[in-house]
Amino acid sequence: MILLIPTLYAETHMAEVSLQYRETVATGGATGIWYLLIPVVAIAIGVVIYKFVNRPPPIVNTPQGMLHEICRVHRIGTAGRVLLDRIAEEAELEHPATMLLGVTQFEAAVNKAGARIKYDRRQNATLGMLRRRIFA
């Protein structure tokens, strides 16, 4: 039973006994600023990398470039732009941007491409979003 009772030992350091062995500790206030500065710099680097990766493609004086520029102006995302590219390709349009001139041209291109593409539910929702964004 005596072995199970923990024995407390007294521990004495030289700094507690004599004044000549006292340690001096310099307190610095600059270390606290690093805890704030490092996350801010990391977030700023992340934002710069995000902006660099997701920058819009350069405008090229081509029919496809014109369609992409119109999509950028109307704030159409990647899914809408890919669907418009596919509709223009399947409808065999020489200038894909001409389908965005009016509702009748857009519907004609969608119906002509619909003969080759079977639109699923997600693509139909994207088409509805495109109609509202461009022609509303």
What is the tens place of the pLDDT at every residue in 2-51? 555 555 555 666 555 666 655 666 665 566 777 888 899 999 999 999 98
Q: Give the pLDDT confidence score for residue 33 in this predicted structure.
A: 79
Q: Give the pLDDT confidence score for residue 23 in this predicted structure.
A: 60
Q: Give the pLDDT confidence score for residue 108 in this predicted structure.
A: 93
Residue 92 pLDDT > 60, yes or no? yes
Residue 99 pLDDT > 80, yes or no? yes
User: Nearest Cα to 81, choosing from 93, 67, 98?
Assistant: 67
| CA–CA gap between residue 125 and residue 129 (Å, rounded) | 6
Contacts of 15 (CB under 8 A, 6+ apart): 21, 22, 23
Q: Give the pLDDT confidence score for residue 80 in this predicted structure.
A: 93
| CA–CA gap between residue 16 and residue 18 (Å, rounded) | 6
Confidence of residue 76 (pLDDT cuts 50, 70, 90): very high
Confidence of residue 109 (pLDDT cuts 50, 70, 90): very high
CA 111, 116, 119 angle in degrees (round to 5)? 70
The model scores a pTM over 0.85: no
Q: Give the pLDDT confidence score for residue 36 in this predicted structure.
A: 84
